Amino acid sequence: MIKHDKNINYLFLNWLTISLFLVLSIIIVGGLTRLTNSGLSITEWELFKGLMPPLNQSAWIEYFELYKKIPQYKIMNYNMNIDEFKIIFYWEYFHRVLGRIIGIFFLLPLIYFHFNKKINIKYLKICYSIMLLVIFQGIIGWFMVKSGLTNNVTVSHYRLALHLVVALIIISLLFWLILNIRKKTYKNFFNLSKKNLPFLFLFLLIFLQIIFGAFVSGLDAGRIYQTWPLMGSSFFPNDFHYESYESFVNFNNHSLIQFYHRNLAYLITLYILGFIFYIYIKNIYVLYKPIIIMSIFLLLQIILGILTLITGLNIYFASLHQICSVLLIFSTINLYYSYIK
């Protein structure tokens, strides 16, 4: 019986680990889908019909004709041929198929573990939340795509940010749960106490920065100023026109969004430097290794962000920049986990 329970726990841990890598994969593919402007190539949700790609020329023509009806084709890609269309189609197709795989891969074992009753109920409750978020994420994905099918050539940057943030919440829950299982304990992330608030505020800053990063991506705001450390010839964008205080919360302004994204990075860097100073002054030895790991990912993220900008949004640097943001979240979670009791 004891051996059987150990095998169930081992299976549960492996399932969560594979799920984490699948979610990381779809975040990467989703980022590349956005970077290649492929997200609007499939203009219908096709929850079941879209399991297979077009298998003959007539099917390809049908999908291409549907794409020709939306503004992105009419304004941006009016000279695209069907072979070029197939490239952007497959990016979006693989993104959707991977989403279906994650849904099925997470649901079926969850049903088994639910009825098996050998897994800690606290762990299962988190899994139920993750499953609901996975379903919700699929709905958000279509909600996002719809925003680019009528009046716009791209999806809404607000909906894009929501789509990304939910994906990061899912992968963060998975990572936190895996840490708990490996340590054979249960630590509550939302352990609201005075000493934990600086860590929770750091998470807030990082997620806020990711939201602005999604805004930059959705608006193609990285194409406005491709210089660093200045934006053109000045610190503040010189094409910004002040009309009222509301001008500073105009999140449709490309230059302003890039300015906020840059300066939030500086603020996060200063905040983490303060963390490092505090940890070493107080000799919190248990956090030495986690803070070093997090600092390495922060430095790498900054370098990749600058390289993405000054290379004219090079797709490889841009994709690595997004991947590194996930690794930065992981390292921050690990730091926080190592600190709380």
One domain for residues 101 and 171: yes
Question: Are 237 and 259 contacting, i.e. CB atoms less than 8 angstroms apart?
Answer: yes
Are 203 and 275 a contacting pair, CB within 8 Å? no
Token duo for residue 7: 């095998």
User: How far apart are the C-alpha atoms of 165 and 160, rounded to whole Å?
Assistant: 9
| Claim to verify: residue 14 and residue 26 sit in the same structural domain | yes
Asked if 295 and 227 sit in the same domain, the reply is yes
Are 29 and 53 within one domain?
yes
Helix (H, G, I), strand (E, B) or coil at 199: helix
**Do residues 120 and 247 both lie within one domain?**
no
Last residue of a domain, one of 186, 219, 244: 186
Residue holding tokens 């290649």?
A: 36
* Cα gap 48→200, rounded to integer Å: 40
Tens-level pLDDT at each residue, the chain (341 residues): 455 457 778 899 999 999 999 999 999 999 999 999 898 888 888 777 768 888 889 989 999 999 999 999 989 888 999 999 999 999 999 999 999 999 999 999 999 999 988 888 999 999 999 999 999 999 999 889 888 888 888 889 999 999 999 999 999 999 999 999 998 888 888 877 888 888 999 999 999 999 999 999 999 988 889 999 999 889 999 888 877 888 898 899 999 999 999 999 999 999 999 989 999 998 999 999 999 999 999 999 999 999 999 999 899 999 999 999 999 999 999 999 999 87
Total of domains in the chain:
2
What global pTM score does this model have?
A: 0.93
User: Which range of residues forms the domain containing residue 209?
Assistant: 189-341
Among 153, 186, 219, the domain-final residue is 186
Residues 131 and 229 in one domain: no
Q: For residues 47 and 49, what is the distance between their CA atoms, to the nearest angstrom?
A: 6
